[in-house]
Structure 1
Amino acid sequence: MERQALLRQVAAAILELPATEVLRVAVDGVDGAGKTHFADELAHALQPSGRPLIRASVDGFHNPRAVRYRRGRGSPEGFFRDSYDYAKLKEVLLDPLSPGGSRRFRRAAFDHASDAPVEAPLEEALPGSILIFDGIFLHRPELRGYWDYSVFLEVGFEVSIPRGAQRGPGYGSPDPHAESNRRYVEGQKLYLSECNPKAHASVVINNENLTAPYFVAVD
């Protein structure tokens, strides 16, 4: 399917949802699935609606390095269970943007590059806003109840790992079977098996061919 046509269909489905003060949309998938790019494109497709848009990512809510690696730097379980501070994510972003919330939110709380907290500006969402939030592991049980609509991008590791490595130096080997990728591949397999994100997503989209993604399943 032509990419822009697919994005317009997803945007239309979101705009047909029952009105809430803030619609919360998740874009999930494994590392290298194309989540950030898809979420940015989806925001662009929603712009003609005139609805205020909020873009944020789970990458603004990492745990400190000492927590992320407490099970060992090569631990797949550590990658799955310890990478992100979900309590802080809920406190400063998801709970305020949920029904009955204050609508006063922050887009990030931690910078993993400097391994330090950040004091992101306190913002107030306008009524009718749409949050578009991208990241891995977004259909964990403690998160999936927050989403009014969610996308899961289906991409095999034989595609996602080389794609991720193309980001540049420091992004690892393009070989999915390389020992340096074991933490990430096996950690994401834990997520897929324990949380079954495709069963909980509003829509599953195969994003292996970036120019011709296609719908796999629609809730």
Structure 2
Amino acid sequence: MLRNELVSTLAIRISQLKIDHPIRVGISGITASGKTTLANELAKELQNKNKSVIRTSIDNFHHPKIIRYRQGKESAIGYYEDAHDYDSFKEKLLIPLGPEGDLQYQTISLDLEKDEFVHPELQIASKDMILIVDGTFLFKKNLIDLYDFKIFVKTDFEIARKRGAKREEQAFGSYEKAEDMFTNRYHAASKLYLEQHVPELHADVVVINNNLKNPEFS
């Protein structure tokens, strides 16, 4: 399927959902699977259909360095267990937009660059808004029931590793160092996620994203 057709089909399916609160769309997949790109494309397509979209990422809900690196900067277990502040993610974003929520939400809890908590003014959602949020571990068991539509982006580890290493080459100083980090930290953690939570089985849609121009759809 051509990529624009895929994005359009997803946007239509989401738009057709009938619920009495903002539609919470979660997009998960291993690191560098292409979930952020898909989330951005989907948000734009929905906006083009005159939908009001809230767009954010789990990466705006990190723990501070003292917590997320307490098991080591290269630790896969550390990344898997300590990277993200799920309590804030739930309480400040997913739950307020849910069935019993008050519609008062925020899209960030930590300034990652400054490593400081932030307390932005609460925003007020309308019930017809659509939240698009992406993140590697979004479909952990303690989060899975807090989405109204779940998309799992499935990409082979080798392909994702090469994409990610190319993307992060400058950040880590070389392609080889970036590739090692993906192998030993990010993708080792992703394998734990797949084994323990089997996110693909909980998804409403699985996008096979090995071929970026022609992803498959199931």
SS in 2 for 1:38: helix
SS in 2 for 1:139: coil
Following superposition, the deviation at residue 184 of structure 1 comes to 1.3
Aligned residue pairs, count = 216
Measured in 2, the distance between the counterparts of 1:101 and 1:57 equals 20
Following superposition, the deviation at residue 10 of structure 1 comes to 0.8
Paired AA for residue 157 in structure 2: F
Runs of 4+ in 1 over 6 A off after TM superposition: none
Structure 1 partner of 2:213? 211
Check the 8 A contact 1:22/1:130 in 2, yes or no: yes
TM-score in terms of structure 1 length: 0.92
Measured in 1, the distance between the counterparts of 2:86 and 2:96 equals 14
Establish whether residue 80 from structure 1 lines up as the match of residue 80 from structure 2: yes
> Pairwise mapping of residues 114-133 of structure 1 onto structure 2 (< 5 A)?
114-133=114-133
Q: Deviations over 1:117-156 (max 9, x none)?
A: 1223311011211000111101101111011101111111
Structure 1 partner of 2:202? 200
Paired AA for residue 90 in structure 1: K
Structure 2 partner of 1:105? 105
SS in 2 for 1:145: helix
Structure 2 partner of 1:137? 137
Structure 1 partner of 2:181? 180
Q: Percent identity?
A: 38
Establish whether residue 170 from structure 1 lines up as the match of residue 195 from structure 2: no
Measured in 2, the distance between the counterparts of 1:105 and 1:191 equals 27
Paired AA for residue 207 in structure 2: I
Structure 1 partner of 2:39? 39
Measured in 1, the distance between the counterparts of 2:41 and 2:86 equals 25
* Inter-CA distance 78–105: structure 2 relative to 1 (3 Å threshold): same
**Root-mean-square deviation (CA), in Å?**
1.8
Check the 8 A contact 2:62/2:85 in 1, yes or no: yes
Following superposition, the deviation at residue 165 of structure 1 comes to 2.4
Q: Deviations over 1:140-189 (max 9, x none)?
A: 01111011101111111211122122325115765699543301111110
Q: Deviations over 1:79-114 (max 9, x none)?
A: 111110000111111111111211111110002222
From the two aligned structures, give the one with the greater helix fraction. Answer: 2
Paired AA for residue 120 in structure 2: A
Measured in 1, the distance between the counterparts of 2:104 and 2:19 equals 19
Measured in 2, the distance between the counterparts of 1:147 and 1:173 equals 38
Paired AA for residue 186 in structure 2: Y
